[in-house]
Structure 1
Amino acid sequence: MVLAGGNGTRVGADCPKQFVKVLGKPVLVYTIEIFQNHPEVDVVEVVCHKDWIDSLQEMIRKYHLTKVKWVVAGGENFQKSVLNGLERLKKEINLEDYVLIHYGASPFTSDKIVTDVIRVTKEKGSAVTSTPCYQLMGSNDIDGTSRSWVDRDQYIQIASPYGFQFSYLCDIYERAEQKGLIETTDPHTTSLMYALGDTVYQAYGDQTNIKITTKEDLKLFEGYTLLKQK
């Protein structure tokens, strides 16, 4: 499930960041190609901004994204978009199947990361790509100050893809809706897991696997793409 329903205004572009072109190709295409080319991924569902579905369909044809089988309109926020995607998948796949959730603006992800998320998901029932915190960390206090040192070894950085056995993913959102967490929890599936008291299992991650959020991230991805081509 590739989530491409957001506006991504912080990149300062005139279109959602997942549709910004890098070296002539939309970011979203780079992202979908990660799964298009991965041998363990069978089918791709894209949850797309409703105003950009026609553009997405054109991209699917142009770039031969043959694994994209379902396109679903996004919701008003992250959690609603995931729920829209889940409702479609409930009609199409089995509860024993495995589902990865990935951000449309996360094109840095590698085959190694996807493979390990799938491995851990099959072993544990769920997994997230996670990276140790390598930078020094401190508290973020008032008026631009930091007064406390934070032990970076006590924390991890979490990124997508997130992997789930489908039955467990449905269960997360059912319990979250029952407890009224959908509207009050940060916009990530892992945030719901923490709020529900569930265990988050770690799979391989690295510092390259970032989500494009700013103009600088777009420049980083352009350089990263040129390096891979070279």
Structure 2
Amino acid sequence: MNIAVILAGGVGSRVGAGMPKQFVKILGKPVIVYTIEAFQKHEDIDAIEVVCVKSHIDYMKELVDTYGLSKVKWITEGGADFQGSVLNGINNLQDKCSEDDIVLVHFGASPFVEGDIIADAVRVCKIKGNAISTTPFYLLSGVKDDDEKTTKWIDRDTIACMNSPHAFRYGYIRDIYKRAVETGVIKEVEPHTTTLMYKMGETIYFSKGSQSNIKITTKEDLDLFEGYVLMKQRHAQEDK
């Protein structure tokens, strides 16, 4: 079984919308619904779990019914940060899936994800045990001396830009978080699964990524997504 774990536990204050950014409506539909629909319609996904900010759990249940998100089997409460939400999601699946099931962790505010990215994450994870959606780093970059200047460049060919979805064999990711909690490592790293894996000496395997698969963080990102939705709608009309 392949399970998508959609993280909707954040408040998204930088968007300035007065609500968690994943629940902001774009053309009448909340961002979180667009994100879930990408996994709902994907043939490789068997079930979906939403890790939701507590204040919006009842609303999330309404959205599941309103938009016919039939693959959403579980809604569980989010944590205080990214790591806490992932941990809550993993723990909630303890008695619901097997060691070799694949779990795809994805940001609820990343609705740009396309089907080929999901499919490749599943493919690589089946072979390697984990897969992180990754793209090359295309921009010129340098090491910051301070907030005003740089005097040393970074070879962009040596940089991998990692994004969600993050795919893991369930037994693997459960054990990593179990060890991280027991040893206290979970409190020592930036709140992302990838940094936790680095800290614990794990190898990260790359799967297909895309520069367009951005996470909505600012008001400008919301505007960009609206344009993206309109483009998709236009292309759908042209294909009829």
What TM-score comes out, normalization by structure 1 length? 0.98
Equivalent position amino acid for 1:203 in 2? S
Q: Aligned to 2:160, which of 152, 156, 160?
A: 156
1:158-191 deviations in whole A, cap 9, x for unaligned? 0000000001011110121122121221111111
Q: Does residue 186 in structure 1 map to residue 209 in structure 2?
A: no
SS at match of 1:182: helix
**Cα distance, 1:151–1:53 mapped onto 2, change above 3 Å:** same
Rounded to whole Å, the distance in 1 between the matches of 2:78 and 2:62 is: 18
1:25-80 deviations in whole A, cap 9, x for unaligned? 00000000011000010000000000000110110011000000000011111111
Q: Does residue 144 in structure 1 map to residue 123 in structure 2?
A: no
SS at match of 2:39: helix
Q: Aligned to 2:117, which of 103, 113, 128?
A: 113
Rounded to whole Å, the distance in 2 between the matches of 1:47 and 1:187 is: 16
Q: Does residue 69 in structure 1 map to residue 80 in structure 2?
A: no
Aligned to 2:9: 5
1:173-229 deviations in whole A, cap 9, x for unaligned? 012112212122111111110111100000011110110111111111111111111
Aligned to 1:19: 23
Rounded to whole Å, the distance in 1 between the matches of 2:43 and 2:21 is: 27
Q: Does residue 36 in structure 1 map to residue 40 in structure 2?
A: yes
Moved over 4 A (4+): none
Offset of residue 86 of structure 1: 1.1
Structure 1 unaligned regions, length at least 5: none
Equivalent position amino acid for 1:2 in 2? I
Offset of residue 88 of structure 1: 1.1
Q: Aligned to 2:90, which of 86, 89, 112?
A: 86
Structure 2 unaligned regions, length at least 5: 235-240
Q: Does residue 173 in structure 1 map to residue 177 in structure 2?
A: yes
1:127-170 deviations in whole A, cap 9, x for unaligned? 00000001111122313212211100000110000000001011
SS at match of 2:42: coil
Rounded to whole Å, the distance in 2 between the matches of 1:181 and 1:9 is: 27
Equivalent position amino acid for 1:62 in 2? T
Q: How big is the alpha-carbon RMSD for the aligned residues of Structure 1 and Structure 2?
A: 0.8
Rounded to whole Å, the distance in 2 between the matches of 1:190 and 1:104 is: 17
Aligned to 1:122: 126
Q: State the identity as a percent.
A: 53
Offset of residue 8 of structure 1: 0.6
Q: Aligned to 1:133, which of 137, 142, 148?
A: 137
Equivalent position amino acid for 2:121 in 1? V
Q: Does residue 45 in structure 1 map to residue 19 in structure 2?
A: no
Rounded to whole Å, the distance in 2 between the matches of 1:94 and 1:127 is: 18
The size of the alignment, in residue pairs, is: 230
| Greater mean deviation of Cα atoms: 136-145 or 192-201 | 136-145
